[in-house]
Every structure is written in structure tokens, then in C-alpha cells.
Amino acid sequence: MKGFKSFADNTVLEFEPGVTAVVGPNGSGKSNVVDAVTWVLGAQSTRALRSAKMDDVIFAGTANKAALGRAEVALTLDNSSGRLSIEGAEVTISRTLFRNGDSEYAINGTTCRLLDVQELLSDSGVGRQQHMIIGQGQLDSILNSSSENRRAVIEEAAGVLKHRRRKERAERRLSATQENLERYIEAHRRKAVS
């Protein structure tokens, strides 16, 4: 992260397998770490980033540090399993935003569109609506929601949603084919009768 929210200086965090806990006093920027992950994966809503407008994510300066002109976050994922369909044992996704509103995405340093990032991630279960970032305070609302909603959240987190969507797509295609077939048979039957 560089210039993202409270991270004015270049900051590198390593997430090892397992649980990573970020500890610090209130307002020290713990949630900004989560925001950085949300942002680099393509978040478009300012609400998801706890800010009023998108350029609020750019370091705004403090009493002894000047504001910066751009926010940058790069997320390097271990791809030794080949789960992401791109060559290389590591994949780096990055996002940059300038104060004039210009924004840029890159995969392994090559500029790309947001769509390319979304497509790269979508087959791995990390894509839009397929990964789960549960912020502070959201846990309560999940625990208190209806069992249907809770099921949706759990299925999404467990990666079932991707398969369910595929199944629904396949079912739609099958039923369209079935209708076509019936129309075809009916047309031939009429022809045979006449």
C-alpha cells in the first residue's frame, strides 16, 4: 500500500496461511487494511470503503505529512496451485487512483481493465460477490438475519455459490433446448399430418 488512506509510506504486509490478526488502538487504521484488500479487488462502492467519495481513499495528509496525489494498492496472491488461470507462481493485482479521478488496474504490472481483474478472479472463487469480507459490526447483522440470508452468506463464503450459479445457467440452457426441440417436433408433426 502506498498513499492509501492512513498508509502514506510504502507499507508491505505479509499474510501467511492461517489467521492473521491486526492489533492496534481505536482509529489506528486497522480497518484500512481490510479496505485496501476490498479496494484492490475492484470495489466500486464508496460505502464498502467507508468513505464519502472515491478519492477519499488517497492519503489526505496529517499535521506533519503532506497529502499525496495518488493511492496505490498491490495484492500478490500465491498461485503455485494454478488456481488462477494465469501463468506464474504469484499473481499481482494492482489498482491506482489519482486525484484527477484517473484510475488504473494492472495484472502482473500490465495495465488492464477492471473486467480483466474480475474475470481472472471469478473462476477462483475470489471474484465479485464470491469472496466475503465481513467488517466490524457486520457480524452481528449476519447472526441476527433470517436463516435464508445466513445460508446465502455461508454458501457464498464456502464457494458453493459459484457452482450453484453454473448449475442454474446449465438448467436454463437445458430448458431452452428442450423448448426448441418441442417446437421442432411439433412443426414436423404438423408437416407430416398435412
Give the other-Cβ count within 10 Å of 45's Cβ. Answer: 9
**Considering the complex, what minimum distance in angstroms separates the CB of residue 91 from ligand ATP?**
26
Return the number of the residue (6 or 118) whose C-beta is nearest ligand ATP.
6
Nearer to ligand ATP, 95 or 162 (CB): 95
First to last CA, the chain: 74
Q: Which is nearer to ligand ATP, 34 or 114 (CB)?
A: 34
Q: What angle do CA 11, 114, 120 make, to 5 degrees?
A: 85
Do 80 and 91 form a contact (C-beta atoms < 8 A)? Answer: no
20 vs 178 by CB, closer to ligand ATP: 20
Smallest distance from ligand ATP to CB 121, Å:
24
Interface residues with ligand ATP (CB under 6 A) are: 5-6, 24, 26-32, 56, 58-60, 136
Give min distance, CB of 55 to ligand ATP, in A.
8
